[in-house]
């Protein structure tokens, strides 16, 4: 019989596994990144039946200590794979341009989706970590369904994608960074067939 554990990430860069049947006692803890006020595990992790997927921001960590990217672990804390964040290529000027993976991860069978502070939304193979899709949510200008002309995205931060009914929904832009001249950001809807 498999035992339940609770998993929680912290801005310190540590992920914890706790035993809910034993007063929340720590089963294991693993430091995956440098951590800090704008680093570590910020908005959330994802899990499927095999692994837990841990995004790491580490946007201002020293180069030799930071580990921005995403890591897959087994439920006993062993690292399966780690994908380092790509070098940031932001399509806007100003702040919050970073390669860090601050937003929450989202998993579906076989795929993990992860947003980045450089505006990209990426999909990774859940077993290997191989990148299978990359979309720059901030690169284009969009005429929106609510009548905003030329709206632009920005950093993907805070929430991860929502997946329902064959659609994936992702916001783009955070706290006034990126975005259209009037300060609005985007909610982008994706489908498998592009409709």
Cα–Cα distance, 95 to 31 (Å, whole number): 28
Question: How many percent of the chain have pLDDT more than 90?
Answer: 61
Residue 49: partners with Cβ closer than 8 Å, 6 or more residues away: none
- Residue reference for tokens 């919050």: 96
Neighbours of 5 (CB within 10 A): 17
CATH code of 6-191, in short, is: 2.130.10.10
| DSSP annotation of 181 | T
Q: How far is CA 11 from CA 39, 43, 180, in A?
A: 6, 9, 30
| pLDDT tens readout for residues 111-164 | 999 999 889 999 999 999 999 999 998 887 888 898 888 888 888 888 899 999
Give yes or no for residue 30 having a pLDDT over 60.
Answer: yes
pTM score? 0.91
What pLDDT band is residue 167 in, cutting at 50, 70 and 90? very high
Domain ranges of the chain: 6-191
């Amino acid at each position: 019989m498999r035992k339940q554990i609770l998993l929680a990430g912290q801005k310190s860069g540590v992920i914890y596994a706790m035993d809910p049947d034993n007063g929340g006692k720590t089963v294991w803890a693993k430091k995956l990144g440098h951590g800090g006020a704008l680093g570590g595990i910020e908005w959330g992790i994802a899990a499927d039946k095999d692994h837990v997927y841990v995004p790491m921001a580490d946007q201002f960590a020293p180069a030799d200590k930071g580990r921005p990217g995403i890591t897959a672990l087994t439920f006993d804390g062993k690292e399966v794979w780690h994908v380092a964040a790509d070098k940031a290529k932001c399509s806007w000027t100003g702040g919050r341009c970073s390669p860090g993976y601050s937003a929450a991860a989202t998993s579906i069978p076989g795929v993990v989706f992860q947003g980045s502070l450089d505006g990209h939304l990426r999909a990774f193979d859940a077993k290997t970590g191989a990148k299978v899709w990359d979309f720059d949510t901030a690169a284009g200008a969009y005429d929106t369904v609510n009548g905003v002309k030329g709206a632009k995205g920005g950093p993907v931060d805070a929430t991860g994608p929502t997946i329902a009914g064959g659609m994936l929904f992702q916001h783009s832009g955070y706290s006034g960074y990126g975005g259209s001249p009037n300060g609005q950001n985007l909610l982008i809807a994706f489908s498998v067939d592009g409709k």
